Amino acid sequence: MQVKGKAQLLRYTADPEQTIALAAKLCYSGDEIDELIEKIGEKDNAKFIEILTKMNHFSPFEHASFTFAVEGVSRALLAQITRHRIASFSVRSQRYVSEGEFNYVLPPAIEALGDEAVHKYERQMEQMLRWYREWQNVLGNAGEKSNEDARFVLPNACETKMIVTMNARELMHFFSLRCCNRAQWEIRDIAWQMLGQALAVAPAVFGNSGPGCLRGACPEGKKCCGLAAEIKEKQVALRKSCLADNA
């Protein structure tokens, strides 16, 4: 069955903006921690976080973490997202969980070719499922190895599910790379979903998050997509939507 990628924010550090402000102010203040907590709780910390961002003082952002559930995504996406090493991942195992009825992701480029191309793709997925089941049966006496080794014939399109936790600093880095138009379409879609949900709970932290072109010249150089204006409009609309929801 075809599936679509979905990200859901499950948990996050309570009062992430206050947590970041507390960590940063501790670096510069002679006050006791209890005094700092009281002062920070009485203030709007948005302007202070903006100053930290302009100073590139990002270590305090590491004290706020965000946990997402991600599903309906391919094993191809898994190979990309786990390159973000300052993060924690728990992924559904293909060793302990049978893929005897696996879901799969359909690339938009194939879908755009029309019904004939989609049916061909579906038949290919069905064939790989038959191969997988065949090897499961052959290796059935091998215990876990019936899944462990049969999975070698599964496609990158095969769906996976995961729990992902990143701190705010790593999330900002993740958004700068994966919200970019040059990022692969699937992880880009998930990144924008995650950004919208992070913005909703910590707008001061993620207010300027997104691809590098939001904050200056495109870092892709000659490979620039040339759509910086459209991307900025998208991010502004997303930010306004999140702020309206929280009003």
pLDDT of residue 30: 81
17 residue type, one letter: E
pLDDT at 45: 87
State how many domains the chain has. Answer: 2
The span from the CA of 140 to the CA of 134, in Å, is 10
Q: Which domain holds residue 132?
A: 118-153
The verdict on residue 101 lying in a domain is no
pLDDT at 143: 61
Q: Quick one: pLDDT at residue 35? A: 86
Q: Let me know whether 127 and 199 are in one domain.
A: no
Active site residue 188: no
Query: Does residue 25 sit within a domain?
Result: yes
Query: What's residue 240's pLDDT?
Result: 82
At residue 246, the pLDDT reads 65
Same structural domain, 168 and 138 = no
Question: Do 199 and 236 share a structural domain?
Answer: yes
User: pLDDT for 24-45, tens place per residue?
Assistant: 989 888 888 888 888 887 778 8
Q: For position 58, what pLDDT does the model report?
A: 95
Question: What would the pLDDT profile of 203-220 be if each residue is shown by its tens digit?
Answer: 999 999 999 998 888 999
Assess if residue 100 is contained within a domain: no
Buried b (16+ CB within 10 A) or exposed e, 34-70: eebeeebeeeebeebbeebbeeeebebbebbbbbbeb
* The pLDDT value given to residue 144: 66
Residues 67 and 13 in one domain: yes
Strands 159-167 and 6-12, sheet pairing:
unpaired
Q: Which of 75, 151, 178, 239 is catalytic?
A: 178
Residue 76: Cβ-neighbour burial (10 angstroms; 0-12, 13-18, 19+): middle
pTM: 0.92
Residue ranges for the chain with pLDDT beneath 70: 141-144, 246-247
pLDDT at position 247? 60
Give the per-residue pLDDT at 41: 76
Out of 153, 178, 204, pick the residue that ends a domain: 153
Let me know whether 86 and 172 are in one domain. yes
Nearest to 186 by CA among 93, 76, 90, 83: 76
Query: Residue 195 falls within a domain, yes or no?
Result: yes
73, β-bridge pairs: 160
